[in-house]
Amino acid sequence: MTDFASDFAAAFLNPTDELEVVEEHYDETRQEGSVDPAKKARSLRRGLIKAANLQDMLLEKLLHQMIPIDDVPPGQPHIQVPGGADEFERPGFTVGTMSNNFRRFNARIGVVFKFQTRVFRLLAWRQPSHTLSFLAVYTFVCLDPYLLYVIPLAIALFAILVPSFVARHPAPVAEPDRVRNLGYSPRGPPLAPARTVKPVKELSRDFFRNMGDLQNCMEDFSVAHDKIIALVVPKTNFSDEALSSAIFVLLVAAAAFMSIAAQLIPWRFIALIAGWGAIWSNHPAVARLIEQARAQYLSGDGDPNLAAQTAFDAWVRSDIILDEAPETREVEIFELQRLSGGSSPGAVGTGEWEPWLFSPLPYDPLSALRIAGQRPRGSRFFEDVLPPEGWEWSEKKWALDLWSREWVEERIITGVEVETEGERWVYDIYNEHEQQRQAAAQDPGALVDSGMTSPSKNYSRQTSSSGAAPAVSWEEGEEGMGRRGEWRRRRWVRMVKRKNVMSTS
């Protein structure tokens, strides 16, 4: 907000040159007393232009504060590549540029509207000779499609070059008071200047006519866009899955058929008949006959379109069978318990198991969180465990996984003791190295105060005294053997199903 205030003040205080020009003209007119009306009008016009420029600058400052300039999504770094697309960035939105471009565009768009009007007149049989000539050309192109390459050349010759030459060498004007009228001859020097295409003047009649045509074109585009969206989108966006599935099946069948039979279809004659039929349907007499036939045969219950729609709907309801059963998956959660007093190495195995939390990970001895010295993450209570996003519970209760050894072997978890009976807990096997490392991380002086030594020294001392390694290693523990570690876990499972998202308009 402070930036906008500073920009707003700068718009008033910095561009003082423009205001000083207006004040100088005002002082000159006040000192002269009586001034020429033409000078007064020019001074007033100049002042209005400067005021409009100041207003545009203020509006641009406001829009720059409201509209984000950078198009890079948040969190994504903007990388500029030398010689890449960044060097060809188009200018941002400004009121002055928008106004100037609109005036230039509106002054030059008239040729498009003239072409559009001529096409409408051609197809509406305003001059039957022109329409029949177009049908003749269309017929030749349909029968011999290679003539399409001749059309651009013919347009360049007879629509651009010949009219330009005739404008440069015009025919003599027929005058009734002359004795005789001379015939047209293209020979000799040019008699008129070359024809050029110039934009219409601003605030002229053609300028406002172009604005009206542009307004009507925007309305036509908006109406056509809305009708196409209303016709196509509800049938193809699977809001009605049966209808969209039927259309999908029909399109797949049509694509398979066309891939085989496309070369056997007489496309030239189809295009010829379709073009002649479409153009002749715009003839006033033919249009009246078509309207009378439609009112006589296609109204009421006998409308074949209504019958076809009814038959198609019946086919969709009877033959398109959707699998309404939602997708189901099994989710898991691990109940973690910690041995009280397990943080101190000498107290391992002497406390009671305390409920800790429910975690999506088993927090085994070789897990990433365990190695990094981080605590497990999860929910404190069973009721706080939520289904994955986009899913909902399919069963009311969690079920204990009685096959603990299977999920342990699937995850290749080592250093644990598995219960095959009872509550199916999976215990950590006591690891003196890990306990000493945790104790050293919590209190570096704990090992010295408690009289404990490093694991390497203990291991060398045991091997030197006994002459052999321990019988059971940390990874080879079996159920009921040795001391247990600080953590234990068991697996709970529950079924979830996909949420049924209802379509909303």
Q: Are residues 278 and 358 in the same domain?
A: no
Q: Are residues 291 and 377 in the same domain?
A: no
Query: What pLDDT, on the 0 to 100 scale, is given for residue 315?
Result: 84
Contact 331, 494 (CB under 8 A): yes
448 is a domain residue: yes
Q: If you write DSSP's letter for every residue of 20-62 in order, what string do you get?
A: HHHHHHHHHHHHHSS--HHHHHHHHHHHHHHHHHHHHHHHHHH
Q: Are residues 276 and 414 in the same domain?
A: no
Q: Calculate mean pLDDT across residues 391-418.
A: 91
Query: What pLDDT, on the 0 to 100 scale, is given for residue 25?
Result: 45
Q: Which range marks the domain in which residue 457 is found?
A: 328-498
Sequence letter at residue 50: K
Q: If you write DSSP's letter for every residue of 389-457 in order, what string do you get?
A: TTEEESSSS-EE-S-HHHHHHHTT--SEEE-SSTT--EEEEP-HHHHHHHHHHH-TTHHHHTT---HHH
Residue 79 clears pLDDT 60, i.e. is over it: no
Least confident of 40-44, 124-128, 254-258: 40-44
Query: What pLDDT, on the 0 to 100 scale, is given for residue 19?
Result: 38
Contact 488, 353 (CB under 8 A): yes
Query: What pLDDT, on the 0 to 100 scale, is given for residue 309?
Result: 82
Query: What pLDDT, on the 0 to 100 scale, is given for residue 226?
Result: 97
Least confident of 15-24, 310-319, 358-367, 419-428: 15-24
466 is a domain residue: yes
3-state secondary structure of 332: strand
Q: Are residues 333 and 429 in the same domain?
A: yes
Least confident of 9-18, 98-107, 293-302, 494-503: 9-18
Contact 268, 276 (CB under 8 A): no
**Can you tell me the distance from the alpha carbon of 336 to that of 359, in angstroms, rounded to the nearest whole number?**
7
3-state secondary structure of 499: coil
Mean pLDDT score across all residues of the chain = 77
Closest among 389, 395, 396, 384 to 501, alpha carbons compared: 389
164 is a domain residue: no
**Can you tell me the distance from the alpha carbon of 3 to that of 62, in angstroms, rounded to the nearest whole number?**
11
Dihedral sign computed on CA atoms, order 348, 353, 356, 362: positive
Q: Are residues 311 and 429 in the same domain?
A: no
Instruction: Please identify, among 285, 319, 353, the residue that sits at the C-terminal boundary of a domain.
Output: 319
* Burial class (CB within 10 angstroms; exposed 0-12, middle 13-18, buried 19+) of 191: exposed
Confidence of residue 461 (pLDDT cuts 50, 70, 90): very low
- What total number of domains does the chain contain? 2
Dihedral sign computed on CA atoms, order 62, 66, 72, 76: positive
Higher pLDDT, 378 or 445: 378
Confidence of residue 121 (pLDDT cuts 50, 70, 90): very high
Q: Are residues 352 and 307 in the same domain?
A: no
Closest among 472, 491, 492 to 482, alpha carbons compared: 472
Q: How many CB atoms lie within 10 A of CB 242?
A: 15
Residue 286 clears pLDDT 90, i.e. is over it: yes
Confidence of residue 250 (pLDDT cuts 50, 70, 90): very high
412 is a domain residue: yes
Confidence of residue 135 (pLDDT cuts 50, 70, 90): very high
Q: Calculate mean pLDDT across residues 453-465.
A: 40
Q: Are residues 273 and 393 in the same domain?
A: no
305 is a domain residue: yes
Q: Are residues 335 and 301 in the same domain?
A: no
Query: What pLDDT, on the 0 to 100 scale, is given for residue 184?
Result: 73
61 is a domain residue: no
Query: What pLDDT, on the 0 to 100 scale, is given for residue 482?
Result: 57
Q: Calculate mean pLDDT across residues 387-408.
A: 91
Higher pLDDT, 475 or 56: 56
Contact 419, 503 (CB under 8 A): no
Residue 133 clears pLDDT 90, i.e. is over it: yes
Query: What pLDDT, on the 0 to 100 scale, is given for residue 301?
Result: 60
Residue 152 clears pLDDT 50, i.e. is over it: yes
Query: What pLDDT, on the 0 to 100 scale, is given for residue 58?
Result: 75
**Can you tell me the distance from the alpha carbon of 348 to that of 485, in angstroms, rounded to the nearest whole number?**
7
Tokens of 449: 């105060």
Q: Calculate mean pLDDT across residues 50-69.
A: 67
